[in-house]
Amino acid sequence: MAESPTTPATLTKSSTPSKKMTKKIQFTKKSPFSKELKRRVDAYFQEQNLSPRDQPKMYLKTVIILSWTLASYALLLFGPAIVWFKFLMAASLGAAMAGVGFSIMHDGGHRSYSTKNWINRIAFFSLDMLGASSYIWNWKHNVFHHTYPNIVDHDDDLNVGVFGRLAPEQTHYKFHQYQHIYLWFLYGLLPAKWHLFDDFEKLYTGRMGVNSFPRPKGWDLFVFFSGKILFFTWAFVIPSMFYSFWVVCAFYLFATFIEGVLLAVVFQLAHCLEEADFPMPNEYNKIDDDFLIHQLHTTADFAPNNKLLSWYVGGLNFQVEHHLFPKVSHIHYPALAKIVEETCNDYGIQYHCHATFWGSLRSHYNWLVRLGKNAEQVAPSVAEPA
Ligand SMILES: [Zn+2]
């Protein structure tokens, strides 16, 4: 059976949403669309005799991307001592690390990689190996982002500090008029910020936006620090045996900059666009919409026919399908997209999709320009009182 996100995806018992989540939003409508969509998707898997998870292609892809990552790292450290070659390998390492995030850890984190939880956990641990805590990301992405996409203060992906205004409800500052120029550079600094600051700050405060989450204990805390130690060892300690510490820091920043731009662009093109909605809950903390339809209103696909891009970004150019069926392997998204589009047409629900990557990138750029101009020019969509 294909599972849809009626409850937030979680990996561990301690990360189950609890009363500690302060401002839980309710989606008050139930549409026959959701039932019919789930029925059609389940029928597809049954008719085709396919498993939603454990796809052989995923295991092959994992081997290819991990080999790419290791080869880039080895060549960066031990390859020819030519400056342009070192920068090329650092860029390759950054792109490979983003590939691990898109295609391995993301499926593991959503438990869409395998029906066996230990396989999902290993895949998810690749995030810790790349410097960011899988425990914190589980709450940030699987719980808060997937449950409340594009809802300010609840969806932590909208929060880039005072530097960026990604949603109409966020405070406007004068310097936002330049955000369509400088924000791309800040996207590149996000991984370093996660590695060195955000994870520790969230571990200490147990808060994300208006929501709180249980701070990791026991095994989760052990995984948090093990991941950090392993990452700092391969990213800083080992390279420092062969190069000066400052050279290591410079290449760390360069590789993670490439990684950050790639990760941020792919995730921003799914939600921060001109056509996406940014609804706010009413005074009773309710959104007057069906949960799955909210996902459709706030999410967009891009470049659905670009097979190479789809492979590299782990199907995240099919974010609509990912948000509707996060526990289905991304290998299936192109097939599910046809079912989703058909069902949307049948029920008169808008399905957002840019034919090309560049079309989607332009929409994100235009959105940054519009929100940067001034606060009055973009009206937020406010949920009707239920
Ligand atoms: Zn996701």
> Which secondary structure element, helix H or strand E, spans residue 286, and what is its range?
strand 286-290
Q: Which pLDDT score is estimated for 379?
A: 52
Which residue type occupies 240?
S
Give me ligand 1 centre to Cα 302, in Å: 16
Largest CA distance in the chain: 65
Give me ligand 1 centre to Cα 59, in Å: 19
Angle of helix 218-232 relative to helix 117-129, nearest 10 degrees, comes to 40
Give me ligand 1 centre to Cα 146, in Å: 7
Give me ligand 1 centre to Cα 137, in Å: 10
Give me ligand 1 centre to Cα 272, in Å: 15
Give me ligand 1 centre to Cα 132, in Å: 16
Pairing of the two strands 286-290 and 211-212:
unpaired
Give me ligand 1 centre to Cα 7, in Å: 13
Give me ligand 1 centre to Cα 326, in Å: 6
Give me ligand 1 centre to Cα 323, in Å: 7
Q: Which tokens hold the place of 111?
A: 């438990």
Q: Which pLDDT score is estimated for 374?
A: 74
Give me ligand 1 centre to Cα 107, in Å: 8
Give me ligand 1 centre to Cα 247, in Å: 34
Give me ligand 1 centre to Cα 230, in Å: 25
Give me ligand 1 centre to Cα 77, in Å: 33
Question: 159: which residues sit within 8 A by CB, 6+ positions away?
Answer: 209
pLDDT in tens, the chain (386 residues): 444 443 333 333 333 344 444 568 889 888 899 999 999 999 999 999 998 998 889 999 999 999 999 999 999 999 999 999 999 999 999 999 999 999 999 999 999 999 999 999 999 999 999 999 999 999 999 999 999 999 998 998 898 889 999 999 999 999 999 999 999 999 999 999 999 999 999 999 999 878 899 999 999 999 999 999 999 999 999 999 999 999 999 999 999 999 999 999 999 999 999 999 999 988 888 988 899 999 999 999 999 999 999 999 999 999 999 999 999 999 999 999 999 999 999 999 999 999 999 999 999 999 999 999 976 655 555 444 33
CB contact at 8 A, 97 and 255: yes
What is the SS3 assignment for 314? coil
Dihedral pair phi/psi, residue 172, rounded to 5°: -95, 130
